[in-house]
Structure 1
Amino acid sequence: MGYGYLVEKLKLSVSGYRLTAKVDSAVLAVREHGTTLLVPTAVEPRDDDLLTHLEFALKYQGVELEVLQAVCLVLEAGVIQARLDATPNGKYIRTIAALYEAFTGKTLQANSTSAPYVNLFDPKAYVCGVSRRQPKFRVNLNGIGDLNFCPVIRRTSALGALLARDIFADLDAFVESIGGEQHLERALGWAYLDETRGSFAIEHEAPSEDKARRFVQVLKGAHEGRALSEEYLCELQRDTITNPYLAAFSFRHEQNWLQQGGRLRASSISYLPPPVSEVEPLMKALMDFANGEPSIDPLLKAFLVSFAFVFIHPFMDGNGRLSRFLVHHALCRSGKLDQGLILPISVAMLHDESGYLSALQSVSKPIRALWDVMIVDHDHIDARFKGDGDPYRYWDATACMEFGIRMTHYALDTSLIKESDYLRGFDTVFARINTQYDIQDKDLHALIRMAHSHGGKISQNRRKQYRDRVQPAVLDAIEAQVQAIFFDQG
C-alpha cells in the first residue's frame, strides 16, 4: 500500500523510500516500527485507486519527493482534476496538485477555496526551510530548498541531541580559554596543517610541503566569503589536486564513477554521479542554495552543501577534498567562524572512516542500483541511468547530517581542545626544563615529544642516542615534568 503499491503498480524505478507499509491487525493506530509502518486493518486503503494510495503515503509515510515526482510524471491530469473537483479543500490532494504542476509543467484548474495553507513538510518531523507559499492550491512548499534542490533531513532523536549542543558557544569559550592571540595563532596553525593532512589522507595521499602549504592557503581563503560559482570552484579544484593533467576549467563533460578493487568490472563500480546533462543544472541549484540567505542551522547547511557536492561529483578529480573544504567555506560565510578559526573536520572523519563511508553509502548505494553499466574496455564504460525520479535532487540527508555533526563535536573536543591542552602542557614542561638546565632547543623539543608519546618515559635507545649532549639528570627531569604535567593530573 502507499508508496510500495505505487512503485509496484506503475513499475517505477526509484532509489527507494524509508517506510514500508504493512497491515497489522494487532495494532489499533498507525505506528512506526523501525523502517516498517504498521497499519491497522481499518486504515488500509480499500481499493486500487492510485490517488488513494498517494494520499495515504503523504499522510502516513512522509514526503518522498523522488517517488512523488516519478508518480506525477505518469499520472493523467484528468485523474487529479477529478479528485480536486470532488474535494477542493482536501489538504493531501491540494499538495499533490501543487507538486504535479511543479514536476510536470502541466496546469490544473483550482476551485475557489478558503482552506488554510497546508505545509508540504511537517516542521515537527522535518527540518524545514523558508516559507514558499503556492497560493493557487494554498500549499506551503517549505522544504530545505526549492524543488530544484530539496533533500530532506528528518528530526530524529539522535540529530536533536547533537544539535542541542551550542558548538559555536563552546568554540568561543575555547578561544577565550586559550590565553591570548599568540597561543591561538599557534593552535590554529597546527589545526590548518592537520586539516590539510587529514583531507589528503582520506584520499590516501600524502601532500608535498608545497602542496600542503597551498591547501592551507585555500582553507584560509574561505574566510573571504566568496560566493560559490563555477569559476571559483574550478580555481579551488586546480589548487587542491596533485595531477596537473586533471586540472578543471569547467564542470565535467564526461561521465565519471567510483570503483572498488583493481580491475574494472560493473560489479566493482560502487557509485555513478549524475549524467553529464544534469551536472550543470544540479550545480546551479546547489550553488543557489549555498549562496542563499540562511534558512536552516548553519552546521546542517554546511554539511548539506558538502555531501550534495560529492554526490554530484562535478569534476573528474578532487571532489572529495573540495567537498570537505566546503564545510569550512559554508561556516565562514555564515559568520560562525571568525578570527581565522577552523574546525578540522577532515581529521575527525579520518578517525571514523567507516562512519564516513556509511553516511555516503546511505545515499550512494540506492542510487547505484538505478544504473545499467557495461564495460567497454579497461577504462571506459557504457552507463545508462534508468531512474524515473531525480535522486540527485531529492535524497534523505539525515544519516549524513548526523555523521557530520558528530564530526564537528570531535573536531572541537579532540582536534582543537586536546591539541591546545597539549601545547600548553608542552610549553610548561619546556619552560621548566629550560630554566633549570642548559640544553639545545631542538633537543628539548624532540625529547618532550618522545616522552609524551611513551607515557612519560624516554626509552633506553633514545637515552643512548642523546648521551653525548644531554646529561642523564636532564633526561630524568624531562621524564618527571612530562609525567607531572600530562599523566599525573588525577
Structure 2
Amino acid sequence: MPEETLEGHLNFALRHENIDLLLLKRVFEAVPSQAIEDIVKATPTGAFSRRVWFFYETLTGKMLALDDAQSVTAVPALDPKLYFTGKEKFSQRHRVRDNLLGTGALCPVIRRTEKLERLIAVDLASKAQATIGKTGGHVVARAASFLLLADSRASFEIEGERPPVNRLERWGRAVLEAGKRPLNQTEIYRLHRILIGDDRLTPVGYREEGVFLGERDHQNEPVPEFIGARPEDVFDLMTALNECNNRLRISDRDDVDPVLQAAVIAFGFVYIHPLADGNGRLHRCLIHHVLAERKFTPAGMIFPVSSVMLDRIDDYREALRGHSAPLMDYIKWRALPSGNVEVLNDTADLYRFYDCTTEAEFLYECVQKTIEENLPREIEYLKRQDEAMRAIMNAIEMPDSLAQQVIIFIRQNDGKFPKRRRDREPLSKLTEEEVAMLEDIVNDVFSGSCHIN
C-alpha cells in the first residue's frame, strides 16, 4: 500500500499504474504548488521527484519556485519499455528526457501491448511493397484506382450516406493527395471545402457553435452520446494537434511507428470534432495523410482502411465510445432553442489528453487486413480479369468493355450467363455454344479465387 500522503500516492501511481495525464493534471490543480515544491526539495536529485516536477510544469504551464536541477543523470518522462515514446528532447531544468508524444497543450499516450508489438514486427509496409513489386505497373495503377474508390465509398457509407459518383470521385482525388501538403489549418480547410462542395448551408472551417452526436427525444431535445470541444477551444486544440503531428513526423530512427502516429492524429481530430459537418470523413482522411507523409503507403496508392472499418463498424464505434462515453459525466451542457447544445464548463483538457492504445490496436488491425488481404486480392482479381478478357477476345471478337461486362455478369450469377442479359443487344446475338464457351472461360480462369464484389 502507498503511504497516505500526496507523495506516496504520486510515487505509487508513476511506478505501478498506467499514466493518465488528465488525472495527473487534475491532481496538480487540486493541491497547493508548495506541496509539489516540498516533494522536490526533499529529494532534489531523485528520479521520482524530478519526473513529478517535470509533469507539473508541463501539464499546468506554471513554474515552481525552484532552482534548476543539479547535474545528475537524466531520466525519461515515460518508461520506453511500457510506452511508445517520441523523439527525446532534453529538459535541462528538470534533468528529464522529454519523450512524450505531444506537449502540455495536447498529449496522447499509447501503451506498449503485446498486440501492438506483434503488429509492428510484421513490417506491413515492406509487405505492401513486396506485393506491388511482383506486379506490373499497369495492374498496380488499376488496383490503386479500385481501392481508392472502395475507400471513398465506404467512408461515406459509414456516415449513412450514398453520394453521387462525382462527389465520390472528387473526395477520392482529395484523399489521393494526402501527405503532399503539411497538415495545418489551411490544409484542413482545403479538404473540408472539397468534402462539403456546396458551402451555402454548411460553413467551411472550424465551427463557431457546439456540436454533438446522438439522438433527439420526442420533443426534439438533444440526447447526446458525445459532445465535441467548445468552439472557443477548437483553434488552440487543433493547433496543438497539428504541432503534435509535426513533432512525430520528423525523420529519425526513433520515430513513432507511422500507424501509431496516424491513430493519435486521426482519433485526436475526431474527439475534438472541430467542424460543423464532415468530421468522420476528414478523420479517416487524416489516416491516409499520415501514412502517405511517412511513406508507409506506396506512392500513388491508398489502403482502403475505411472499407475494413465499415466491415468492423461495431468495433469501430466501440473504440470511439470507449474514450468519449466516460467523459460525458464531466461535461455540463444545456439544450439551446436551435436544437444544438451549449457546454457550460471548461472542458478543454478532456480533449488534450487521451490514451490512444485501443484505437491504435484497432487501426493497426485494419491496416493489416488491407495489406495482407485486400491489396493482394484486388491485384489477383485484376490479373485473372486480364487473363479472362484475353481468352474471351481470342474466342469471340468484341469490345473490351463488353468483355468486362461478360465477366461481371457470369461471376455475379454463380458462373452462369444470366438469361436476362443474354436477351439484350448485342449479347442476344451469341449462340448457345458461344455462351457455354464464355462460361467455361470465366469459370476456369477464376477457379479457386475468392469472390470479389
Aligned match of 2:115: 158
> Could you tell me how far apart the structure 2 residues matched to 1:353 and 1:488 are?
29
* Paired residue type of 2:91: Q
The answer to whether the Cα contact below 8 Å between 1:272 and 1:368 also exists between their aligned partners in 2 is yes
Residue 461 of structure 1 deviates from its aligned partner by 4.6
Which runs of no fewer than 5 residues in structure 2 stay unpaired? none
> Could you tell me how far apart the structure 2 residues matched to 1:413 and 1:419 are?
11
The answer to whether the Cα contact below 8 Å between 1:429 and 1:478 also exists between their aligned partners in 2 is no
Answering whether residue 191 of structure 2 is matched by residue 236 of structure 1, we say yes
Residue 141 of structure 1 deviates from its aligned partner by 2.3
Of the three residues 318, 324, 327, the one matched with 1:358 is 318
Q: Classify the secondary structure of the residue corresponding to 2:109.
A: coil
> Could you tell me how far apart the structure 1 residues matched to 2:150 and 2:449 are?
27
> Could you tell me how far apart the structure 1 residues matched to 2:167 and 2:449 are?
39
Structure 1 stretch 65-74 or stretch 434-443: which is displaced more?
A: 434-443
Residue 270 of structure 1 deviates from its aligned partner by 1.0
> Could you tell me how far apart the structure 1 residues matched to 2:216 and 2:144 are?
37
Count of residues in Structure 1 that have an aligned counterpart in Structure 2: 443
Aligned match of 1:457: 416
Once the two structures are superposed, residues 349-369 of structure 1 have per-residue CA deviations (whole angstroms, 9 ceiling, x without a partner) of: 111111111111121112222
The answer to whether the Cα contact below 8 Å between 2:107 and 2:244 also exists between their aligned partners in 1 is no
Of the three residues 28, 37, 54, the one matched with 2:10 is 54
> Could you tell me how far apart the structure 2 residues matched to 1:364 and 1:248 are?
25
Q: Classify the secondary structure of the residue corresponding to 1:63.
A: coil
Residue 444 of structure 1 deviates from its aligned partner by 2.8
Answering whether residue 55 of structure 2 is matched by residue 95 of structure 1, we say no
* Paired residue type of 1:469: K
Residue 264 of structure 1 deviates from its aligned partner by 7.2
* Paired residue type of 1:157: E
Residue 396 of structure 1 deviates from its aligned partner by 0.6
The answer to whether the Cα contact below 8 Å between 2:76 and 2:98 also exists between their aligned partners in 1 is yes
Of the three residues 123, 131, 134, the one matched with 1:177 is 134
Structure 1 stretch 160-169 or stretch 328-337: which is displaced more?
A: 328-337
Residue 335 of structure 1 deviates from its aligned partner by 2.7
Answering whether residue 249 of structure 2 is matched by residue 289 of structure 1, we say no
Aligned match of 1:382: 342
Answering whether residue 239 of structure 2 is matched by residue 280 of structure 1, we say no
> Could you tell me how far apart the structure 1 residues matched to 2:111 and 2:202 are?
37
Q: What is the aligned-residue identity percentage?
A: 28
> Could you tell me how far apart the structure 1 residues matched to 2:385 and 2:228 are?
47
* Paired residue type of 1:68: L
Aligned match of 1:130: 87
RMSD, matched Cα: 2.4
Q: Classify the secondary structure of the residue corresponding to 1:331.
A: helix
The answer to whether the Cα contact below 8 Å between 1:121 and 1:142 also exists between their aligned partners in 2 is yes
Residue 386 of structure 1 deviates from its aligned partner by 5.9
Aligned match of 1:32: none
* Paired residue type of 2:54: A
Residue 242 of structure 1 deviates from its aligned partner by 5.3
Answering whether residue 364 of structure 2 is matched by residue 408 of structure 1, we say no
Once the two structures are superposed, residues 447-484 of structure 1 have per-residue CA deviations (whole angstroms, 9 ceiling, x without a partner) of: 21122234323345545557722222222222222222
Residue 231 of structure 1 deviates from its aligned partner by 2.1
| RCO higher in structure (CA 8 A, sep ≥6) | 2
Residue 421 of structure 1 deviates from its aligned partner by 0.9
Q: Classify the secondary structure of the residue corresponding to 1:390.
A: helix
> Could you tell me how far apart the structure 2 residues matched to 1:324 and 1:355 are?
15
Change (3 A) 1:81 1:265: farther
Q: Classify the secondary structure of the residue corresponding to 1:244.
A: coil
